[in-house]
Chain A
Amino acid sequence: MGFTDDVLERTAEVVGRVARTALLPWGGAEACVDAYEAAIRAVTDAQLGAARAVDVEPMRSVLASCAHLTRDIGATHLSSARWILDV
């Protein structure tokens, strides 16, 4: 493991420990990440539902693209959060 990786790993460990402690009042880190994931899914599904219902372009494409952006940005947050929190 290189020096940069080592520093990154140690920093993530410390940040993760602090964040896990801070999230305890809200049911713990895993529950919070799960809740965020559920929220992302709900918003994405709502946007996709609207896209399917609106049979007019470019509204449909815009709504579907927003849904995909929400999903992918959310996925990036979730992946990073899970990595830092180790859940």
Chain B
Amino acid sequence: MSSGSGLVSGLDGHTRLYWETTGTGEPVLLVHGLGLSGGAWWRTVDALAPSMRVITFDHRGIGRSESWTYAYTTEAMADDAVSILDELTLDRVHLYGFSLGGMVAQQIALRHPDRVRSLVLGATHSGGRRVVAPEPPVVAFFRRRARMPSEEAAWASVPYNYGPRTRAEQVDRIAEDIERRLHNPFNERAYRAQLLAASMHNCYGRLERIRAPTLVVHGARDRMIPVANARMIAERVPGARMKILAEAGHLYPTEDPAVDEAIGEFFAAHA
């Protein structure tokens, strides 16, 4: 399977974005979530790369990417993602954003509509006043997490990231996730900047302007971003389809591996 990697330098002379590409075929850009690097997509890359060219990258300030300041917006992160498409000379791609990456994917679909062939929004919300917030203990955990050592934070986040069935029956898969996550050093400042970007994110009023065929995927047991947010997005994006995973929590790609196949079929249907 062909693969490659590289760095895109921003015009500002400070921003550097690390990207990787695996496989050949229709290109799909994967946009990852809060505090994670592009490497967090390893399960999805393995599932999609046999039939697609899968592009992952590290958001600014995370993993091997660099940033000048620690003041981010989802708009800036969307423009970063598009700069990688420019570097790879890709005009249009399938786009799959997860959690914070789903917010960035909304911005890409709105700011650069010509670049998006189809869109998958996973475990995300639209922002704005109508967003359904997580329960107070979850919010308190988000704030606490930045101060925790990486390994402690990774294990402490398990009750918030995974559904009850996964926690009971798939501990080995959770351990695999955490082992992978710990390969990349955690950047507290970038994490806080991403939290701020997520809290300022607001696409609610513009969702109906998204023109790309859209699939909304969410775990019904998601405590980080309650599933009501997925229903809200699916109701507002014209023609959007929705896939709710009954037993999954926030990190559904780990909990329900079959979902990657369904997402691959969605991309194939819109090739």
Contacts and interface: CB of A to CB of B under 8 A. Distances in A.
Interface residues of A, number: 26
A64 B11 contact: yes
Given A72-B73, A76-B73, A79-B202, A12 B129 contact: yes
A71 B75 contact: yes
Contact of A51 (B11, B68, B79): B11
Interface in A60-87: 60-61, 63-65, 67-68, 71-72, 75-76, 78-80, 82-83, 86-87
A63 to B, nearest CB: 8
Contact of A86 (B74, B75, B129): B129
Given A68-B76, A72-B73, A79 B11 contact: no
Contacts of B202: 78-79, 82-83
A52 interface: yes
Nearest to B196: A76
Which secondary structure dominates where chain A touches chain B?
helix
B164 to A, nearest CB: 26
Interface residues of B, number: 22
A33 to B, nearest CB: 8
Which secondary structure dominates where chain B touches chain A?
loop
Residue among A9, A52, A65 with max Cβ neighbours from chain B (10 Å)? A65
A83 B13 contact: no
A56 to B, nearest CB: 12
Contacts of A87: 205
B142 interface: no
Interface in B48-89: 68, 71-76, 79
B76 A83 contact: no
Interface string B195-214: 00000111011000000000
B79 A30 contact: no
B12 interface: yes
A82 B76 contact: no
Given A64-B12, A65-B68, A79 B76 contact: no
B14 interface: yes
Interface of B: 10-14, 68, 71-76, 79, 127-130, 200-202, 204-205
25 contacts: A12-B129, A48-B11, A58-B13, A60-B13, A61-B11, A61-B12, A64-B11, A64-B13, A65-B12, A65-B14, A67-B11, A68-B76, A71-B75, A71-B76, A71-B79, A72-B73, A75-B74, A75-B75, A75-B76, A75-B200, A79-B73, A79-B201, A82-B205, A83-B128, A86-B130
